[in-house]
Structure 1
Amino acid sequence: MGVQQFLDKSDGRDKLLATVQYVAMFISAGQPGDVKKVQASVAAARKVFRIMRPLESLNPIIQNPTLNSNRPLVLELLAKLKSVLMAIYFGGDNIVWASQAGILQNKTLILRAQKASLYGWAGGSVIGVITELHELQGLTARRVGEVEEVYQARLEKNGAEITRHLLLLVHSLVQALLAVGLLELRPWKPRTVGMLGIIASALNCYMLFPALPAPAKASTKSFAKVA
């Protein structure tokens, strides 16, 4: 049931195909051949799922253009900047798809759109790293005058939330490194970039996968201790 729910989501199918794409990149090691062709064809197929994503990325700004006074100003500005950068990422990807579909023929525009897309992704991922570090600092920092027992109890209570933000931090960091590799800003081999892509895509699939049913009441207490 969970697998079906995952595959029903366009984003879920996109991330599953992303995993296949980067596995093919890792296996081919950048060398021409059938596996390289699989990588290219899967990468092209993914773009169909992203046609409306630029608007989706800008939706938080469209719905709420004002700044939220309940959050630090810097974080609020970074959140809005991330929305813009991710819209650039998906918008550039749409232009590349249009070229593959034969709608656009301007090679200069296509190359610039591809680079802008990856830079937008890298920037959005870096902002994600900064945001998650701030969230983790707020959840794990000891408050003034807080005794050890209270501090440990608060950490245990926030355990699931801390784990979630740690996962998001690792995911954002890997995505930023993947974008750097795809932009060829570092002399990494295709297999290194492919491995980063596999990790990022696998984390995406994990986070998109529907949550399992909660454990029975009798085991809730012991489960909380493990978490």
Structure 2
Amino acid sequence: MTYEKLVYHPEINRVIAFLDTTAGREKLLRTVQYLTRFLAYQLRGDLVELAYLKRIQFLIGISRKPLRFLKFLKHFRSLFIVLDDQLKDKKLRAFDVLKQVGFAAYFFLDGVQWFKQLGLINDRKSRSKLVANAGIYGFRCWLIALTGAILGNLRKLHIIYSRRKALSANSSAPDGKEAGISTNTATVDLLEKEDLNIAKEQNDLIKNSLDALVAMNGCNIIDATEGTVGLAGLVTSIMGLKDLWKSTKVGV
């Protein structure tokens, strides 16, 4: 029947699998949050619409935080894995350490900020500078993490380009007829693989750079408009959704 074809359609199953993950739900909420932020700037002349969109933006923002609660543990674990990996490129290792430390601190402070918004922590009662400035400190840690991620992207691109150049040089070297055909086929496959790696790193670099713009604005390093910040966050959210969608596995 028609409804059975719809219910059991592979894409419907994929949507269900995607929304069944915490990362999928959080990324979807992030997309809507930055969309409302962008629209609020565009409709800033209408005070009623502006207040409505700002309210939605706040509610989505606070709804995302429990989905990320204790996520700093994941980055602490990743940090120790990186520190134990002595075979990794030294520069990549250093950049990855910076990234994991930044993200671990950012998500920890994000939890503190959530408790503040819920009223479980009071700035005056705690008398803690960390609690009082959890928001701005969080943006700084996020920027540190993104700096490590961007440097890591650039380092990986340098390594991949060097590797690709060496493969291209080897493929043009003279060889026997039969051996040459086999070698060229294998080299072409490797070159295609490296091209995919380059595209992935370039995509990640763009995403991290746009997120860094949002983080720098949160740190008051730059003074970007709400429209610019909203658009940058919207683009990175869509890019993140696309990557998550590709990696979503549908159970049999």
Tell me the TM-score range normalised by the shorter chain: 0.7 to 0.9
Counterpart-to-counterpart distance in 2, 1:181 and 1:81: 20
CA distance 1:121–1:159, shift in 2 (3 Å)? same
Equivalent of 2:54 in 23, 36, 49: 36
**Structure 2 equivalent of residue 70 of structure 1:** 87
Matched, 1:27 2:31: no
Structure 2 unaligned residues grouped into runs of 5+: 1-12, 45-49, 173-183
In percent, how many aligned pairs have the same letter?
24
Equivalent of 1:146 in 157, 161, 169: 169
Matched residues, number: 212
- Runs of 4+ that moved beyond 6 A: none
Contact persistence 1:182–1:193 (CA under 8 A): no
Counterpart-to-counterpart distance in 2, 1:212 and 1:74: 31
Superposed, 1:10-25 pairs within 5 Å as: 10-25=22-37
Structure 1 unaligned residues grouped into runs of 5+: 214-227
Superposed, 1:35-184 pairs within 5 Å as: 35-62=53-80, 64=81, 66-106=83-123, 109-141=130-162, 142-143=165-166, 146-147=169-170, 149=172, 153=188, 154-184=190-220
Per-residue deviation, residues 170-216 of structure 1 (Å, max 9, x unmatched): 11111111111233321211000000110111111111114489xxx
**Structure 2 equivalent of residue 218 of structure 1:** none
How much has 1:148 moved relative to structure 2? 6.3
Aligned CA RMSD, in angstroms, stands at 2.5
Counterpart-to-counterpart distance in 2, 1:166 and 1:198: 18
Question: Which structure would you say has the larger Rg?
Answer: 2
Contact persistence 1:5–1:210 (CA under 8 A): no
Contact persistence 1:22–1:197 (CA under 8 A): yes
The amino acid of 1:54's aligned partner reads F
Matched, 1:193 2:210: no
The amino acid of 1:207's aligned partner reads D
Q: TM-score, normalised by structure 2?
A: 0.76
Whose helix fraction is larger, Structure 1's or Structure 2's? Answer: 2
The amino acid of 2:85's aligned partner reads N
Q: Which moved more, 1:191-200 or 1:53-62?
A: 53-62
Counterpart-to-counterpart distance in 1, 2:55 and 2:28: 18
Contact persistence 1:67–1:76 (CA under 8 A): no
